Structures are given as C-alpha cells and as structure tokens.
Structure 1
Amino acid sequence: MPVTMSQAFIGNFLGNSPKWYKIAILSFLILNPILFYLNPFVAGWVLVVEFIFTLAMALKCYPLQPGGLLAIEAVIIGMTSPSQVLHEIEANLEVLLLLVFMVAGIYFMKQLLLFGFTKMITKVRSKMAVSLLFCCASAFLSAFLDALTVIAVIIAVAVGFYAIYHKVASGKEFGADHDHTSEGQNQLNNDELEAFRGFLRNLLMHAGVGTALGGVCTMVGEPQNLIIAAQANWQFAEFAIRMSPVTVPVFIAGISTCLLVEKFKIFGYGAQLPDSVRQILCDYADHEDARRTNRDKMKLIIQAIVGIWLIIGLAFHLASVGLIGLTVIILCTAFNGITDEHALGKAFEEALPFTALLAVFFAVVAVIIDQRLFAPVIHWALAFEGNMQLVIFFIANGLLSMVSDNVFVGTVYINEVKAALLDGQITRDQFDLLAVAINTGTNLPSVATPNGQAAFLFLLTSALAPLIRLSYGRMVWMALPYTIVLSVAGLLAIETGFLADMTQHFYNSGLLLHHSISEVMGVTGH
C-alpha cells in the first residue's frame, strides 16, 4: 500500500526511534504552549522533566534532536529569550572549546594510548593487577584528558583484541609474514569465548569507573567541572586542591573496591583471560612490534612529548583549556605529518554532537534562570546549615545525576548557588564548600547508570557492547558496588566535617607548593 503523507511524516520524524517515543515528543510539543499560558512556573518544570526524559531515553534517540526541539519551542513561546541563551553559551565558552579542541587533540594521541594499554594486557599476567592498572590509568588520563576520549581509546583496544581473536578462531592470519597458528589455537571453544568476553567486560567497567575517579579530581575531567570552576573562579591547581579532601578518600575506596570485586569474583567480576587467548594477543603484540618502523617510533615519541606539554600546560594554567587542546592538535599533526583536511576532520566527529547537545543544555538552563524554577529547592536546601547543607546538595545532585545527565545537573545547581552568593544568602566560604559538594555529587553517584556519564553511555552504545554481551542491565549491576562505595565514601567525607576541616589546610599548603614551583619555573598566574 502507498504511504500517506502523515505516515511519511511519522516515519521520518526522529528516524528509527520507537513510535511511542515519537508520539511522546510530539505530545510534549503540543502540551508545553498550553501549560505556559496557564502557569509559566509549572510549564518550566514540565520542560525540565521532559528534557531529563530525553536524556534518560538516549538509547532510543540521541537527545540533541528531541531536546533541541523542546528548547527551540521554549524560546518561541517566551520561556526564555535568544539573548539569554547566548549569554549562557558565552559564559561557558571555555567548556565548548574544551569539547571541540581537547577531544580532537587527544584523537591524535591515540597511538600512544593504544600502545600503553596493549602492553598492560600482554605483559601483566595477574588479573587483579591488570584491573588495577586499567582503573588507575583511566583515572590518571581522565584527570588531564576528556573521559569520553579515554573510554573511546580503551574500547578501540578491546575491539582490536576481539578482532584478533576472531581472526584466529576462524583460522586466519594477522600477517602474511607471521605464522601464529598452532594446534588447538585456531578453534577456540565457547567456554574460552565466554571467558574472554567476561574478561573484556571487567576491564571496560573498571576503566569506566576509573574515568569517574579521575574525572572528579580536576577541572578538565568532566564538562561540568569546568563550568563549576568558572563560576567559582578557580584555576586548575586550586580546583584539584579544593576537591582533594573528598576525592582522595574516594579514590582509595574505589581502588579498594576494584581489588575486592576481583578477589571475591562478585557482581560479574573475576573473569580470567584464557591462556590460549593470551598467547594469541602476545603473538600479535610481538608481530606489531616487529613491524614498527623508525617513523612509527618517532610518532610515539612526539605524542609522549606533547602529552607532557599537555599536563604542564593544564597544571599551571598556561592558557585556557580549549587553547591548550588546540596546541595539541597543531603539534601532533605538524610533527607527525598529518596535513590532509579530511584526516583532520575525523578528529572532530566524536566531540561535535555532544558540543551541540551542551548548547541545548544551556538553552534549558536559560529557561530555569528566567522562570526561577530551582529557587524554591535552593531556598529549601539553603535553609539547612553547616555540613547538613552540604549533605543535602550532595544527595540531590547524586540522585538527579543517576537518572539524567551530570553535566546538566551540575550546571543548574552551580548557577543557582552562584546566584545565592551574589544575593548575599551564603558566604564565599560556604559557596566554595557547596561547589565541592555539587562537583562530587554529580561525578560519583552518576556511575550508577549509563545515563549519568557520557563515557558510560558511549560504552553502552558502542559496537563492542553487543559483542561482549554488555547490556544496560549488566552495566547497572556491575557498577552497583562502585556506586555504593563511592557515594558513601563521598558522603562521609562531607558529613563528618572532614571536608570543611581539611579544605583550608589542603588549600593553603597546596597553593604554597604550587606558587613555589611556579616561581622556580618562572611562571606567573593563579
């Protein structure tokens, strides 16, 4: 039968998304103007809930399109204005530059990162040691790089290893000059396959949690960190120092959890790499090492030097984060011979969709500000005093980040707390403590679901997930011990007064060290 115009419209609208989801979005678009006419405050809250719904349903449809339609309608009907949206984007320009340039810059350092993670798997035989290395390496990299890029590199490593296994399992060779096959090695049985899948699932989940452990520590670890740092007027070193009373004990608790789940083989962890698969991977690594030319080695050296510059530039805030990312792009491509425009363009493919989505975030934030939607909640939370106020903010941010997106939650709360500071409702010292509570609250409990963190969502939607049987439910189950431990550890650090007592001590001693190093290096600044 011929397709009618209405059927064609529904079929084209939001592509392959479920029909019920399409109807829901269209219903939102019809409902919002009516509600705004009747009660602007209620309509604003409904818009926020609808936007969170699009984030929670990210697996059905990327949130940019449905969220963007809601944001456009909000501007058209007067919930906010184009000038207010532009103001929010201008205020967070450094975040957008971070996503555009830093993620693209790390793309040109993938060879070095792939080399490092490959050596971890092939050279270390202990599963607990490998898990710990993946978790710690991801944490360290995410503290200085973008967590999404870090998990993308680890996914690339896992995909490469799975492809090697598949070639061997089907009797193929990975090099015409390299005879790797041996009896019993080219027909891996189902038990070995399942064990290999379990091994990769374990490493990917440990690495994913590692990006959260490291991402919470610095202003470049997650996009909302940069937003919080901008509102608090903190630079790289000050941000890390102020967060340390919470992030240090949480990191220790997270690493301990990694070891315990592996030792006791609970929550889906403890899968061992079969010896036959290990031999295949080692043979392949040796094969690649043998093929590596001096030009390839020089590329790795250049990337390592640029990586050192990246860490120094960020630690001493020699330029804005986005501009440092731009220097990484220029240095890596210039000295490694990447001059083709199309080769450069591929580096920006991962970051730009999320950059556009973040611009939509700011449009929704503009609605929240203009309609003062969070004012009652903030006033209720600010009615508490001392540590209890910090606990309330930590819990509220954590719960919302579990079901929506931590960038959105962190942006909204820090803006409202900054407004409370400017209105004289809180002191500057309390604002600093609340900023820590908001940052840790959005970063730590959000590991509970793939919705909460972009790195987890990227992992779930990758081509690797179905190959290793990593479903939404399995991710939630495997993240559960980390969710409990990280949330409780962060909450205790705040509730017991440890944060308030130690922040000033860490701040004074840490900044003294930072200024001393800066003077020695001849660097001035904050």
Structure 2
Amino acid sequence: MQYSIPAAFYKNFMGNAPEWYKNTIFAFLVINPILFYFNPYLAGWVLVLEFIFTLAMALKCYPLQPGGLLAFEALLIGMTTPGHVKHEITENLEVLLLLIFMVAGIYFMKNLLLFTFTKLLIRLRSKVALSVAFTFFSAFLSAFLDALTVIAVIISVSVGFYSIYHKVVSGMKAGGGDHDLSNDDQVESMKREDLDGFRAFLRNLMMHAGIGTALGGVCTMVGEPQNLIIAQKAGWEFIEFVIRMSPITFPVFFAGLLTTFFLEKTKVFGYGAQLPESVRHILEEYDKEEDKQRCIREKVNLFVQCLIALWLVVALAFHLAAVGLIGLSVIILATTTAGITDEHQIGKAFEEALPFTALLCVFFAIVAVIVDQGLFKPVITAVLQYDGKMQLLMFFIANGVLSMVSDNVFVGTVYINEVYKALADGQITRDQFDMLAVAINTGTNLPSVATPNGQAAFLFLLTSSIAPLIRLSYGRMVIMAFPYTIVLTIVGMIFTYTSLESWTQNFYDWGWIEHASSLPAAEVKTDAHH
C-alpha cells in the first residue's frame, strides 16, 4: 500500500499508538506555544498535566516519546533552558548511576534470586505462608536493591514456571524448544481448568510481590529513585534514612503483611487461588531434575553470588561509596567470577534500565519548567500555612494523591525541590524540612500502589510478558491493589500525624541522629542557581 508523504509520516509517528492518542499529542504540541504566549503560568500547568497524561497512557505508548516531545517543545519556546535541565540532571547524577549500574549489577545475580524464589514456591505448600513469604522477601530485597529489578526477577520466575507447565499440557517436554505460550489451542480441554487456576495463583503472587517492593522500597535510600533524590537533598546517608523513615515505614510494613494474610484467608479481591496439584507435581519434578543437573561450576557461582550480595548490603549500610558505584562494583565482581567477558553478554544487562533512565532525564526537564515558572509555589505556600502535625499530614496527602495518577519519582522530585527552596529562603527550619522530607517520601511511595502509573515496578509488571499470559489487566491490577492502597495509606497517615514528630525527637535525644545545619553542605554551592 502506497502512502503520501504526510500520511506516511503520520503512520510512523508514535508507531502503533492509537490514532486518537496521536491526535491528542499533536494537539498538545500546537496548543502549548499559543498558551505560553498569552499566559506562561497557565501554560506551565497545562504542560505538567499533559506530561502526567502521557504517564497514565504508558500502555498505549512508552512515555519517553510523547513526554520527550513535550519537554523538547518546552525548551524551544523558552519555558525553561537547556542549562537548567543540565543542572537538574547533574544534581541527580547519583540517581542515574543507581538506575544504570545497580539494575545491571543485579541482572548478573539473577541466578541466586531465581534459585531463592523457586525454592520458596516449591517448598511452601501453604498458600497463605507462601504469599506472606513473597511479600516479605520482595520487601527485604527491594530495601537493598532497586524495586524494578526485584519485580523483573519475580517475573522471570513466573514466566519460567508458566512455560514449564504450558509446554507439558500442550504435549511438549518441559525443557523443549520454542513454544507459543499465548496459544492455548494445544492444551487438552481437561487441563484448561487447572491452567486457569495456575494463572489466578500466579496473579496473586505477582501482586503480593509488587506490593512487597513498595513496602521495602520506601524504607531505604536505594529502594526507589526518588528516595535517593530526597536523601541527597537532606544530606542523609543509608542508616540515617532508615531511622528517620522508621516511625512510618515499620508500622506500614507489618500492616502490609497482615493485609496479605487477611486477603489470602478471606479470598476477597481475587486472592486465595490455590496451586492445582497437577501443576505442583510437574514443577516439583522439574525442580528435582534441575538440582540433579546443576554442575559444580553453577553451585560455586551461586555461593559467590551470596558473598557478593553480602558485600552489597554491607557497602550500602556503611555508605562506602555512591550507590551507583557500588552497583558498578557488583557488575565487576559478578561478571568476573562467573566468567562473563563478552561485550554483548554484558550489554544485555543494561537493556532493562536505560529506557527508564532516559525517561527520568525527561522528568528533570519538566521539573526545570516547574521551577522556572514557579508552578508549585502557591501549592507549597498553602500547605506550609498549616502547623506541626497537620502540616506533615497535608504533605503526605498532597504527595499521595498526585502519586496515584502520576509517577512517584516525578512527584517526589518536584516536592522535595520546592521544600528545599522553602528551607533555603528561610520559610521553614531545618528540623521541619527533615520531617517534611519523610512525609514526602512516604507519601509518594505508599498511596502510589493504587494504580500501575504510580510506581515503575507496577508499570513494568503490567507491560511485561507475564501480564497477558496470566490475564493481568490494568483494571484487575487496580482492583487487586485496592485493599493494600486503603490499608497502607490510612496507616501511613495515622503514623505521620501521631508519631513522626515525637519519634524524631526521641531519635535526637538518644543520639541516633543529629540535628543538621540549615542547609546540607553539598547543596549550598548549587543553591545560587535558583
């Protein structure tokens, strides 16, 4: 079929995205310069809402393209400057290093993580115990690793198990060659019910694991990208970050585990699906065969990966280097000891993180627009009118609501920058800033589980290969996340209001943390930019 030049361009533009979405992005690009000419402040807010819209539509088109076009246009028409965008990226270089090197580093430790989760699934026969274990271990790993990496590993485990069973019930060998997992035509009719039950079982585990990444990710400075941004602005290191967050994160963590227990016991919101016995038998046989065939080199590699994991925890806990550099050390150690020396093998590890790293740079361009146009100043000023506990609660709510529909990295970055400016301008004290930073971090991490838009790990799960196989749609994710959203948000709000001030003061009194100076030393030099 022959296209005219305009038609061919339109066909290529944003690929297979729906036509209505392409037309919407075109309309945004036409409207923005006109609006900016007449009212720059309004145009800035419209741009932010347009960018949030591209995040919400991530299933139609990855936000890097439409969001990047909006950011590029903002630079062209003067809503911000390339110098300011570079400044924002430079200020957050540690976050970019985290995404590039830590995610790639954990890629080379997948064997250890796959082994751990495989044994969990096979050995724990109680669905309640298995679900709580998946939530707990996902949380624990996400506290020290990137949540995106943890969910990627669990997706790999699930795809592996689904592949094994689907091949067997389709008449192939478990370790056979290529097989279309999306095609059920070869599945015996008597096995269809077990296959549907297995899908429901995997949906449950994937959602519990996803929630676990949020429960653990909020606790430490490496759990989510915005945590590191907040820690940088506040001048906190690993241990201090954990201590300051603990008045909220510890109660929320146990509330999350109790919610997992409750959902599996009551079997509401789509939970409580059991692993069919026929499926368990096939998976156990496959696991036994794998154990028999595991050679001495593979066993040694697993042991070495355990040692590297120990190094990772120690290096992070004592802040021996920037987080991204610790990730780079993991890459070097893991590839060297596993004998991976081919450039192309190493390159595969970076495929997962680099698209999101590029998207994060677009985030920083939008942040530069927000700063230059003073968009959040009225909002911040209004929230700062509240005093004490109510001020903390309002920041938690403001961040939480926006994080439900947008991306928590974007929201957390914007709010911590604005609160930092308020500190630099003398509107708040350093102690206020520290507690507001806690409220911002927990507010962006906890309510954001409501939708796949809120957290990168959830969006990654929804757009992964496992989602269509186990029938995990956007709507089903929202419904299954709903009870967790309610519990985590309410518990977070309660402890933000009742405990954050008093426990922070206790930490000062006990000498666990120290009162900081008015501005973090690392930030004083760059503050003049604004």
Q: Structure 2 CA distance, aligned partners of 1:13 and 1:469? A: 29
Do 2:507 and 2:513's aligned partners in 1 also have CA atoms closer than 8 Å? no
Q: Structure 1 CA distance, aligned partners of 2:406 and 2:168? A: 42
Matching residue of 1:225: 227
Q: Structure 1 CA distance, aligned partners of 2:387 and 2:154? A: 43
Matching residue of 1:499: 500
Q: Structure 1 CA distance, aligned partners of 2:278 and 2:33? A: 63
Matching residue of 1:126: 126
Matching residue of 2:429: 427
| Structure 1 residues 179-218: aligned runs within 5 Å | 189-218=191-220
SS of corresponding position for 1:347: helix
Deviation of 1:427 after TM superposition, in Å, equals 0.7
Comparing 25-34 and 285-294, the one that deviates more? 25-34
Matching residue of 2:394: 392
| Structure 1 residues 340-359: aligned runs within 5 Å | 340-359=342-361
1:302 to 304, 308, 328: 304
SS of corresponding position for 2:252: helix
Matching residue of 1:51: 51
Distance 1:2 1:174, change over 3 A: closer
Matching residue of 1:516: none
Matching residue of 2:440: 438
Distance 1:204 1:510, change over 3 A: farther
Do 1:169 and 1:188's aligned partners in 2 also have CA atoms closer than 8 Å? no
Deviation of 1:297 after TM superposition, in Å, equals 0.4
Matching residue of 2:251: 249
Matching residue of 2:420: 418
Letter in structure 2 aligned against 1:220: V
Deviation of 1:4 after TM superposition, in Å, equals 1.4
Deviation of 1:190 after TM superposition, in Å, equals 2.0
Q: Structure 2 CA distance, aligned partners of 1:509 and 1:299? A: 43
1:380 to 357, 379, 382: 382
Matching residue of 2:113: 113
Q: Structure 2 CA distance, aligned partners of 1:2 and 1:320? A: 54
Q: Structure 2 CA distance, aligned partners of 1:494 and 1:296? A: 47
Do 2:165 and 2:174's aligned partners in 1 also have CA atoms closer than 8 Å? no
Matching residue of 1:281: 283
Distance 1:405 1:175, change over 3 A: closer
Q: Structure 1 CA distance, aligned partners of 2:122 and 2:96? A: 37
Do 1:201 and 1:468's aligned partners in 2 also have CA atoms closer than 8 Å? yes
Q: Structure 1 CA distance, aligned partners of 2:371 and 2:229? A: 16
Letter in structure 1 aligned against 2:411: V
SS of corresponding position for 1:210: helix
Matching residue of 2:476: 474
Q: Structure 2 CA distance, aligned partners of 1:499 and 1:489? A: 12
Deviation of 1:186 after TM superposition, in Å, equals 8.3
Q: Structure 2 CA distance, aligned partners of 1:23 and 1:349? A: 30
| TM-score for both structures, normalised by structure 1 | 0.94
Q: Structure 2 CA distance, aligned partners of 1:463 and 1:117? A: 19
Letter in structure 1 aligned against 2:405: V
Matching residue of 2:521: none
Do 2:164 and 2:175's aligned partners in 1 also have CA atoms closer than 8 Å? no
Deviation of 1:173 after TM superposition, in Å, equals 2.3
Deviation of 1:172 after TM superposition, in Å, equals 2.2
Q: Structure 1 CA distance, aligned partners of 2:431 and 2:483? A: 33
Deviation of 1:192 after TM superposition, in Å, equals 1.1
Do 2:238 and 2:316's aligned partners in 1 also have CA atoms closer than 8 Å? yes
Letter in structure 1 aligned against 2:503: M
Matching residue of 1:2: 2
**What are the superposed Cα offsets for residues 354-407 of structure 1, whole Å, 9 maximum, x if unpaired?**
000000000000011111110000000001111111111111100100001000
Q: Structure 2 CA distance, aligned partners of 1:472 and 1:71? A: 27
Do 1:310 and 1:328's aligned partners in 2 also have CA atoms closer than 8 Å? yes
Matching residue of 1:333: 335
Deviation of 1:175 after TM superposition, in Å, equals 5.5
Distance 1:214 1:507, change over 3 A: farther
Matching residue of 1:180: none
Match status 1:409 vs 2:399: no
- Unpaired stretches in structure 1, ≥5 consecutive residues: 177-184, 514-526
Deviation of 1:2 after TM superposition, in Å, equals 2.9
Letter in structure 1 aligned against 2:130: V
- Unpaired stretches in structure 2, ≥5 consecutive residues: 177-186, 515-530
SS of corresponding position for 2:350: coil
Letter in structure 1 aligned against 2:119: K
| Structure 1 residues 32-111: aligned runs within 5 Å | 32-111=32-111
Do 2:108 and 2:349's aligned partners in 1 also have CA atoms closer than 8 Å? yes
Q: Structure 2 CA distance, aligned partners of 1:384 and 1:162? A: 52
Matching residue of 2:458: 456
Letter in structure 2 aligned against 1:102: M
SS of corresponding position for 1:271: coil
Q: Structure 2 CA distance, aligned partners of 1:479 and 1:507? A: 36
Deviation of 1:507 after TM superposition, in Å, equals 5.5
**Cα RMSD, aligned residues only:** 1.4
Q: Structure 1 CA distance, aligned partners of 2:415 and 2:298? A: 47
SS of corresponding position for 1:296: helix
Do 1:144 and 1:311's aligned partners in 2 also have CA atoms closer than 8 Å? yes
Matching residue of 1:511: 512
Matching residue of 1:369: 371
Do 2:240 and 2:513's aligned partners in 1 also have CA atoms closer than 8 Å? no
| TM-score for both structures, normalised by structure 2 | 0.93
Q: Structure 2 CA distance, aligned partners of 1:312 and 1:438? A: 27
Letter in structure 2 aligned against 1:101: F
**What are the superposed Cα offsets for residues 388-430 of structure 1, whole Å, 9 maximum, x if unpaired?**
1111111110010000100000000000000000111111111
Deviation of 1:150 after TM superposition, in Å, equals 0.3
Q: Structure 2 CA distance, aligned partners of 1:222 and 1:507? A: 26
Matching residue of 2:525: none
Do 1:241 and 1:507's aligned partners in 2 also have CA atoms closer than 8 Å? no
Letter in structure 2 aligned against 1:511: W
Distance 1:385 1:147, change over 3 A: same
Q: Structure 2 CA distance, aligned partners of 1:382 and 1:263? A: 43
Q: Structure 2 CA distance, aligned partners of 1:422 and 1:173? A: 65
**What are the superposed Cα offsets for residues 39-71 of structure 1, whole Å, 9 maximum, x if unpaired?**
111111111011101101111110001111111
Q: Structure 1 CA distance, aligned partners of 2:334 and 2:398? A: 42
Deviation of 1:505 after TM superposition, in Å, equals 2.2
Q: Structure 2 CA distance, aligned partners of 1:408 and 1:396? A: 13
Letter in structure 2 aligned against 1:353: P
Aligned length: 504
Matching residue of 1:447: 449
Letter in structure 2 aligned against 1:499: L
Letter in structure 1 aligned against 2:455: Q
Letter in structure 2 aligned against 1:294: I
Do 1:168 and 1:187's aligned partners in 2 also have CA atoms closer than 8 Å? no
Distance 1:37 1:304, change over 3 A: same
Matching residue of 1:172: 172
Do 1:303 and 1:332's aligned partners in 2 also have CA atoms closer than 8 Å? yes
